[in-house]
Amino acid sequence: MKSPDFFGKAGSAWRIKLPDPPIRPAHKATLIEYLVAGIGYHPLWNHWYVSLISLEEIPGVPSAKKYYPEATYEIMVVALNPDKPLPDPDRIHEKTSHILRPIDGIYQFHGVTDDEAKEMVTDLVKEIVAGQLSPDSDFRETWRLKIAKRTGLISNRKRGIK
């Protein structure tokens, strides 16, 4: 496996190479993805998948499920099964990722550009490896507040992050 893109006291993170062309039409919506190894965030697993997805319409792909009409992006945080081999970040799309359910977090928002959304996700991943943000589902409200601060939206309101 290649060296991590980010390393900190609480883990490491690898930016996942997006397949070009996308393997499935729906993969066109993926803007950025990370494989994250987090130390001490959960007693049973320590790897997560963090992705940013555009909720824009893609011809030939069913419409995204939006939690509110203005949503244009979705961040998804998913724990990976510790009983399965860790995927190679450059080849993760070639195999089935063994994710755990329920998903740790899905956060939809709007009000930023693609580049700003990607920068925000990268910064959130850096916070995970620095020990400043847990990817675990118990910290969903912390994620909402951080996203709200970056986008100018109010968390848990009718027109904000859901």
The 10s digit of each residue's pLDDT in 102-131 is: 999 999 999 999 999 999 999 999 999 999
In a domain, 1, yes or no: no
Q: Kindly report the pTM of this predicted structure.
A: 0.90
In a domain, 74, yes or no: yes
Cα–Cα distance for residue pair 29/23, rounded to 1 Å: 12
In a domain, 76, yes or no: yes
In a domain, 160, yes or no: no
In a domain, 104, yes or no: yes
In a domain, 94, yes or no: yes
Cα–Cα distance for residue pair 77/88, rounded to 1 Å: 18
Cα–Cα distance for residue pair 103/123, rounded to 1 Å: 21
Cα–Cα distance for residue pair 128/118, rounded to 1 Å: 16
Q: How many distinct structural domains can be found in the chain?
A: 1
Kindly tell me if the per-residue pLDDT of 3 is higher than 50.
yes
Q: Provide the 8-state DSSP code for 137.
A: G
Kindly tell me if the per-residue pLDDT of 161 is higher than 70.
no
Containing structural domain, residue 127: 6-151
Percent of the chain with pLDDT over 90: 70
In a domain, 156, yes or no: no
In a domain, 157, yes or no: no
> Residue 135's CB: how many other CB atoms inside 10 A?
25
Closest CA to 53 of 23, 20, 21, 29: 29
Rg (CA), the chain: 15
